Amino acid sequence: MPSQIAVGVSESFDPVEAFSEAARDAARELDAPCDLCVLFAGPPHLGHSKWLLSAVHDELAPANLIGCGASGVVGGGREIEGGAGAVVWAASLPGVEIETYRLAAEPPEGEISGLPGQLAGDALVVLADPYSFATERLLEAVERLRPGLPVLGGLVSAAAAGGGVLFRNGDVLSGGAVACSIAGVGVVPCVSQGAAPVGPEMTITAAHGNVVEELASEPALERLKAAIGELPEREQSLAADGLMLGLVIDENQPEYTRGDFLVRPIVGADPEQGWIAIGEEVRIGQIVRIHVRDEISADEDLRAALANQNAAFESEGAAGALVFTCNGRGSHMFTLPDHDAIAIEDTLGVPAGGFFCAGEIGPVGGRNFLHGFTATVAVFPRE
């Protein structure tokens, strides 16, 4: 029996009514029991979290559930930024093994608790509170337990009573993270960092930590300025508005294109030493390239990433998708309303639901990272 995914959306200001309506709409589209539900609740609903969670269980009776508070939600081809948005994503996944977890780090930068010693599954979906949980520490732990396991999700972007709100099965939680492992279905990750590579590829020839001392055996700052000077006028203007560097993570390829670079901002420079600092550790021998971001490049990058991953479903097709998009995207980045929701609907043509995150989780070059200004999509196959 093929997988089925349905998404219910509501903008009702009454929390119980909103989530009853969204869950009822999702249940109506499923011809089988709900194996996994993921819900996203706008800020006005979070003061009534227990009631909205009960409403979802009453209407949908999910076997497994996770969710979180969201500054904005995505569903039904729409983006509801702020306000009383409610999204219920429901999946019937026959033969698939699903397990949910409550994760914690105490102190917040300490060891991760709640993960099993043997982490099963083909993918891990994570929703984490950015104030009480070290997401990057979790990604390191997953890499030790299951190297190469795709981790997808986002950071909670709406809080109540001073803390992030999370849902797991029948519980409302404050702080930490919730996760679910999915085994028996080939979830395909799609990560769009919304940036375009420009200029030449350059090799790091001297570096320490997150500091690039030399590029192509020249002081990094001088080589970077020279590369920018060779760009067309429009790309020079974009570089002036926000310069970023893309780092190749997996170098075992004949050439590097969109999606092969981990994009990070340049966070500092030392004109006297000629060094630059970026938001990621680097190493000697690593290939880098200048990246720029604007509305056009972000649109192209998302559509190209979706089309590339959609090719994996040529035979059986996709059933649906979970969407984790940055709260710096939406109307902050695009003049077209509902941009990411429409792009996903245009390219995949399947039910999709998600939320605006305070940070997005997804793999690049076979390794999982925490991103910003990114749209991360978990695409579920039909069979």
pLDDT tens digits for 286-334?
999 999 988 998 999 999 888 887 776 666 789 999 999 999 999 999 9
In the 8-state DSSP scheme, what is residue 45? G
Question: What pLDDT sits at residue 308?
Answer: 81
Say how far apart CA 309 and CA 301 lie, in whole Å: 12
Q: Which of 292, 321, 345 is the last residue of a domain?
A: 292
Q: How large is the average pLDDT for residues 333-337?
A: 93
Say how far apart CA 102 and CA 140 lie, in whole Å: 17
205 and 169: one domain? no
Question: What pLDDT sits at residue 165?
Answer: 95
CA torsion, points 370, 378, 66, 147, in degrees to nearest 10? -60
Look at the chain and report how many structural domains it folds into. 2
- Structure tokens of 145? 């337990």
Q: What is the 3-state secondary structure (H, E, C) of 223-277?
A: HHHHHHHCCCHHHHHHHHHCCEEEEECCCCCCCCCCCCEEEEEEEEEECCCCEEE
**Residue 352 above 70 pLDDT?**
yes
Question: What pLDDT sits at residue 210?
Answer: 96
**Residue 283 above 90 pLDDT?**
yes
HSE-up of residue 283 (Cα within 13 Å, Cβ side): 6
166 and 209: one domain? no
Q: Which of 265, 292, 319 is the last residue of a domain?
A: 292
Residue 265 structural domain: 196-292
- Structure tokens of 215? 């590029």
Cα-based distances in Å from 273 to 63, 211, 217, 261, 270: 58, 11, 14, 26, 5
Tens digits of per-residue pLDDT, 31-41? Answer: 899 999 999 99
HSE-up of residue 380 (Cα within 13 Å, Cβ side): 29
Q: Which of 269, 292, 315 is the last residue of a domain?
A: 292
Say how far apart CA 116 and CA 111 lie, in whole Å: 13
- CATH of residue 286's domain is 2.40.30
Question: What pLDDT sits at residue 375?
Answer: 96
Which residue in 81, 76, 78 sits closest to 338, CA to CA?
78
Question: What pLDDT sits at residue 108?
Answer: 64
Say how far apart CA 324 and CA 93 lie, in whole Å: 21
User: In one letter, which amino acid is 300?
Assistant: E
Assign 117 a pLDDT band (cuts: 50, 70, 90).
Answer: confident
186 and 265: one domain? no
- Structure tokens of 71? 């500054």
123 and 248: one domain? no
**Residue 258 above 90 pLDDT?**
no
179 and 213: one domain? no
